Chain A
Amino acid sequence: MATNTCKEFLNHLELWMEGERHPDAQAHLGSCTSCRNLVEDLNNIHQQARSWNLEEMNLSPRVWEALRFQLEQEGLIRSNDPSQPESSTAGWFSRWFRILPRPVMAGAYLTVLIVAAFALMKPIDKQINEARWLNGTQVSTTPLHAQLNTEQKVVYSLPNTNPVVTASLQKNMAIVDNYISLCEKSVREEPQNEVARDYLYDAYQQKADLLAQMTERGENAQ
């Protein structure tokens, strides 16, 4: 199967991440920036997850400080004596670790992991969603676009009775075609933008209406 569209590539994404390199998927990745970015993001997450395993507790002092403050606020741990400041992070952490009940520690660690995962997952979710929206829009408009263009060629070959009317119809067809291009550009830039999609579908509707009018006049002239 030729993996030549984003939708088809997304179907192969899981296998790709497991290391299976289908030639069509590779070819698509070479030409599609959006899917390439998606794969890069997934690889980053993968690497990040591996580094967490390796440096299990080596989170930044700032994170631990925030966590400690939160736990103190909730009364789950006792605050340090300010008259005896700790000189190193590891020192206060080891004492703090000792006084913390184990379930609290596990819960806090899990919370930090979930927050970090969400922060990292947001861009990837966005890209997957955008790719889906874009793909959905393309699936619905590509055949329509081709069909209307074929129809347009036929209509333009029909005889016309009034050059003024024909000129008006063709001028307005150019306006509609221009709007289709502008709307498609907007949809590509913001695939989730419902307004741009509505305008795109609307522009196609206008084109279809216009072609119907031209066909009717052309057939009457024959």
Chain B
Amino acid sequence: MNAIDAMPEWMGKGNWKIASLLISGLLLCNIASAAIPPPRRLEQHFKVTAHPVITIHNPNGMVTVKAWTKSEVMIISTRASDDVEVEAEQMGNRVDVSTHATSDNVAPDDMRADYQINVPEDAELQIHDDAGEVNVANVLGDMNVETVAAGVDLEDAAGYLTVKTVDGPFQCLRCTGRIEASSISGNFRLWDLRSYHVRAQTSTGSLLFSGEFLPNGLYHLKTYSGVIEVRFSPGDSFDLSATSLKGRVNNQASLTPRTHAQHFYSRFGNSLFGTFNAGRAKVELSSFDGTINILKRE
């Protein structure tokens, strides 16, 4: 008895051919699906409780973080190539997100991954992004952002904000927390601020501060050669010291001279000391050879 004779009766000779084709097709499909990488766009959700911590390590790409009202972290990642993989894992109330190369020899452009992340308002963020851009909006928890060339843009942020770039620009819009920012050649723009503590330093970049000087607030702005521009309103109240060792100090504020002995810095460079209104905030501006402008806010 041959195989054909052994076939069930319903499988006639023609049906056998169809079955062979179907099996071959299924095998091909299986092989093909094994070769297809996971989709480059991936959406992941993690349930969290109060004050979650989210860490993001990305060598290149755009990182956008927004606050929402859910107790959940949503991560939408988009990889530039199959040579990188995105890893997101939860450890208790912490979610770690990172981008890795899958092979040793990956082109820089292929190492890119973009992230859109939604977090609870009280989340704490730690972001490392060498190149690309970092945008964070409405997150009220503490934040640490470190980049090389990536720009950092924070909006309506609160908490303790520390930002460090090498030459990426930094903008803080309507921020209310404590701000510590440093860079070498990045420009800083601190706009509509209501922070009680600002410490910002950039070497060749410019530094623009426009915001309220809150009572008992401390504002320390420093550059090497970059221009420092501070804008004040008539209702502000601050005690000012501005020193540029080799640059100029231009002032539009009517200051009352201090009665006590001057700080030792006054012996060197171009300095300006005085009190505006009651002198409730403390403003220290210093530059090595950059210009310092103290201007009225329009």
6 sample A-B contacts, Cβ–Cβ < 8 Å, listed by A number? A164-B108, A175-B204, A176-B203, A179-B288, A186-B246, A195-B268
Pick the contact of A164: B131, B185, B203, B224 (CB < 8 A): B131
With A179-B224, A210-B166 known as contacts, the answer to whether A199 contacts B245 (CB < 8 A) is: yes
- Determine which of B108, B203, B204, B243 lies in contact with A162 in the assembled complex, contact meaning CB atoms within 8 Å: B108
Asked if B166 contacts A172 (CB within 8 A), the reply is yes
**Is B204 within 8 A of A183, CB to CB?**
no
Residues B59 and A161 in contact, CB atoms below 8 Å apart: yes
Q: Is A131's beta carbon under 8 Å from chain B?
A: no
Q: Please tell me if the beta carbons of B59 and A171 are within 8 angstroms of each other in the complex.
A: no
Known: A172-B184, A175-B204, A179-B224. 11 other contacts (CB 8 A): A162-B60, A162-B130, A164-B149, A165-B59, A165-B130, A171-B167, A183-B288, A193-B268, A194-B268, A199-B224, A213-B166
5 tightest Cβ-Cβ pairs between the two chains A and B:
A172-B184, A162-B108, A168-B149, A165-B130, A165-B148
Q: Which B residue's beta carbon lies closest to that of A168? A: B149
Quick check: is A25 within 8 A (CB to CB) of the other chain?
A: no
Assess whether A190 is interfacial by the CB under 8 Å rule.
yes
Interface string of A166-182 (1 = CB under 8 A from B): 00110110011001001
Q: Does B10 lie at the interface of the complex (its beta carbon under 8 Å from any beta carbon of A)?
A: no
For the complex, count residues of A whose C-beta is within 8 A of B.
Answer: 26
B268 touches A162 (CB 8 A): no
> For the complex, what is the distance from the CA of A190 to the CA of B268, rounded to whole Å?
9
User: Which A residues contact B (CB, under 8 angstroms)?
Assistant: 161-165, 168-169, 171-172, 175-176, 179, 182-183, 186, 190, 193-196, 199, 203, 206, 210, 213, 217
Residue B111, interface by CB 8 Å: yes
Hey, what's the 0/1 contact readout for B208-245 against A, CB within 8 Å counting as 1?
00000000000000001000000000000000000101
Measured CA separation A169–B296 after assembly (Å): 36
Q: Please determine whether B203 and A179 come into contact, CB atoms closer than 8 angstroms.
A: yes
Contacts of A186 in B (CB 8 A): 245-246
Docked-complex contact B108 and A161, CB < 8 angstroms: yes
Q: Is the CB of B130 within 8 A of A195?
A: no
Complex alpha-carbon distance, A161 and B131, angstroms = 12
Smallest CB separation, B220 vs chain A (Å): 13
Q: How far is the CA of A195 from the CA of B131 in the complex (A)?
A: 34
Complex-state Cα separation, A176 to B268, whole angstroms: 22
Contact across chains for A195 and B203 when beta carbons are under 8 A apart: no
Give a binary string over B104-122; 1 marks a CB under 8 Å from any A CB, 0 the rest. Answer: 0010100100000000000
Complex Cα distance A37/B141, Å?
60
Contact residue among B149, B203, B264 (Cβ-Cβ distance under 8 Å from A206): B203
Give the distance to chain A from B108, nearest Cβ to Cβ, in Å: 4
